[in-house]
């Protein structure tokens, strides 16, 4: 089996050597080799991992299954791990989707699910996880089969290390089914119970808990009615804020970006980034005012400031939810001020090294705040609050010399508009709060 560009690193050489010897092993020897291969996959960078995700890999696994040279248990053991790492390494690849193995798994899931007697529940779970993790465009029929199956795994109350791993795999798999339409009756009661049970008993891993939330919030785009449950019953704002703060304490922010991390550190960093991405979806889709916005904004700001020197990817991910929060009228400008977002963005915009994402999204954030503070409120009390908030922001802008910064950015507005299709205003006064 060759890599995509014909070259091999040490990791890919080791992986390919082990893979080529699988056919000649008995089941136990094969299982040990697969465990070794899975460890090698963990240590691969994105490019190395992409290079092994080929149609050839999936076709050879299918050939071994059909020749009875590999058991389904061993096949799903390696395929699930590949799918798991595909998600955590954030690698987009459609080789499985176009493989014959994909078609075979679809058929097996349907056949196993239809069985009235002697249904192999473990096989069905393994097949569902492999299929959904590796397949970017799963069929709606099979999603409807897989979702209840995996929620059943995630709902197990038993406490053991093995059970926690199984629940993490099931919830991570579910979380990757983006905006696919799924009937509420297939998931809402179960996923709500899973989240509530964790809040009381702390029975999920951090990644599993985040994945449960991601699965639920991804449904916003089909069911706006979910927002009351998410915001006021399950308290997403409070929970996301706490998780971000806990994960932020686990990361060594002085470590240079790209420096080697141990497996647990890397997983915590990935989980934190997933919370930021899910918070962004939350702010894009929210329509209810909520007191927990301040808490969530404050936690995102803490991560934004901690990441500014050595973690540019995380720093960029922080600004998206802040920018989108500033767009939403349900998030008060006062909430952005209390959470520290306005001060953090002002500070971020004046960094000596400033990337295009921070510049563009920071400008979007500030122009949204500026527009919202220009309109008068109907009630006298709200109008007094608006003026007080406006005064605070104006004073901070003056203190930071923000007007000079905006003037210096003016030449790049046209470039940013072309690159991001963001329609940034060319009128400098739109970026300023005038008292």
Confidence of residue 5 (pLDDT cuts 50, 70, 90): very low
Q: What is the DSSP letter of 422?
A: -
Rounded distance, CA 60 to CA 230, Å?
44
Q: What pLDDT, on the 0 to 100 scale, is given for residue 4?
A: 42
Please give the Cα distance from 91 to 49 (Å, whole number): 8
Please, are residues 430 and 413 in contact by the beta-carbon 8 Å criterion? Answer: no
Render pLDDT for 69-94 as a digit per residue (tens, 0 to 9): 999 999 999 999 999 999 999 999 88
Neighbour count for residue 61 (Cβ, 10 Å): 21
Predicted confidence (pLDDT) at residue 295 exceeds the cutoff of 90: yes
Q: What percent of the chain stands above pLDDT 90? A: 66
**What are the structure tokens assigned to 245, written together?**
């703060």
- In Å, what is the CA distance from 178 to each residue of 40, 105, 202? 28, 21, 26
Helix (H) / strand (E) containing 275: helix 263-285
Instruction: Tell me the pLDDT tens digit for each residue of 265-294.
Output: 889 999 999 999 999 999 998 888 889 999
Worst-scoring range by mean pLDDT, 160-174, 189-203, 256-270, 370-384? 256-270
380 pLDDT more than 60: yes
Beta strands in 117-200 (DSSP E): none
Mean of pLDDT over the chain? 91
User: Residue 407 — very low, low, confident or very high, per pLDDT cuts 50/70/90?
Assistant: confident
* Tens of pLDDT, residues 299-355: 999 999 999 988 999 999 999 999 999 998 889 999 999 999 999 998 888 887 778
In this predicted structure, what is the pLDDT of residue 258? 67
Torsion of CA 299, 300, 301, 307, to 10 degrees: 110
Query: Which pLDDT score is estimated for 288?
Result: 85
pLDDT band for position 2 (50/70/90)? very low
Structure confidence at residue 180 (pLDDT): 67
* Mean pLDDT value across residues 97-120: 92
From the CB of residue 54, how many other CB atoms can be counted at a distance below 10 Å? 18
- pLDDT tens string 24-45: 999 999 999 999 999 999 999 9
What integer pLDDT is reported at residue 81 of this predicted model?
A: 98
- Mean per-residue pLDDT for 166-187? 89
Separation between Cα atoms, residue 194 and residue 223, nearest integer Å: 19
Tens-place pLDDT, residues 207-265: 999 999 999 999 887 787 888 999 999 999 999 999 999 999 999 999 876 677 778 88
């Amino acid at each position: 089996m060759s890599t995509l560009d014909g070259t091999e690193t040490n990791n890919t050489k080791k992986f390919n050597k082990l893979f080529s010897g699988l056919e000649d092993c008995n089941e136990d020897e094969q299982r040990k080799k697969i465990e070794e291969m899975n460890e090698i996959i963990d240590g691969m960078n994105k490019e190395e991992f992409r290079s092994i995700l080929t149609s050839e890999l999936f076709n050879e696994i299918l050939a071994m299954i059909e020749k009875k040279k590999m058991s389904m248990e061993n096949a799903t053991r390696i395929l699930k791990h590949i799918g798991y790492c595909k998600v955590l390494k954030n690698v987009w690849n459609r080789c499985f989707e176009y493989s014959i193995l994909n078609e075979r798994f679809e058929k097996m899931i349907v056949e196993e699910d239809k069985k009235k007697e002697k249904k192999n529940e473990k096989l069905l779970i393994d097949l569902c996880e492999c299929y959904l993790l590796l397949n970017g465009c799963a069929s709606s029929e099979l999603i409807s089969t897989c979702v209840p199956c995996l929620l059943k795994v995630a709902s197990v109350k038993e406490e053991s290390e093995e059970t926690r791993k199984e629940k993490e795999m099931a919830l991570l798999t579910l979380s990757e089914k983006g905006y696919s339409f799924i009937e509420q009756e297939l998931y809402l009661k179960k996923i709500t119970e899973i989240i509530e049970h964790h809040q009381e008993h702390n029975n999920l891993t951090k990644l599993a808990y985040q994945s449960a939330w991601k699965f639920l919030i991804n449904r916003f785009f089909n069911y706006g009615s979910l927002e009351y449950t998410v915001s006021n019953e399950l308290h997403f704002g409070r929970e996301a804020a706490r998780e971000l703060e806990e994960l932020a304490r686990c990361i060594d922010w002085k470590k240079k970006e790209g420096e080697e991390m141990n497996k647990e550190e890397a997983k915590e960093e990935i989980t934190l980034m997933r919370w930021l991405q899910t918070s962004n979806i939350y702010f894009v889709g929210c329509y209810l005012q909520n007191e927990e916005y301040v808490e969530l904004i404050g936690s995102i700001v803490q991560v934004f400031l901690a990441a500014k020197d050595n973690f540019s990817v995380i720093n960029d991910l922080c600004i998206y939810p802040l920018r989108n929060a500033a767009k939403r009228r349900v998030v008060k400008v006062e909430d952005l001020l209390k959470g520290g977002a306005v001060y953090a963005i002002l500070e971020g915009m004046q960094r000596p090294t400033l990337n295009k994402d921070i510049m563009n999204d920071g400008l979007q954030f500030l122009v949204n705040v500026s527009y919202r503070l220009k309109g008068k409120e109907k009630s006298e009390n709200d109008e007094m609050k608006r003026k007080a908030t406006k005064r605070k922001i104006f004073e901070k802008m003056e203190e930071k010399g923000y007007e000079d910064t905006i003037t210096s950015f003016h030449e790049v507005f046209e470039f940013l508009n072309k690159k991001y299709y963001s329609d940034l205003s060319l009128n400098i006064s739109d970026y300023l709060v005038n008292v």
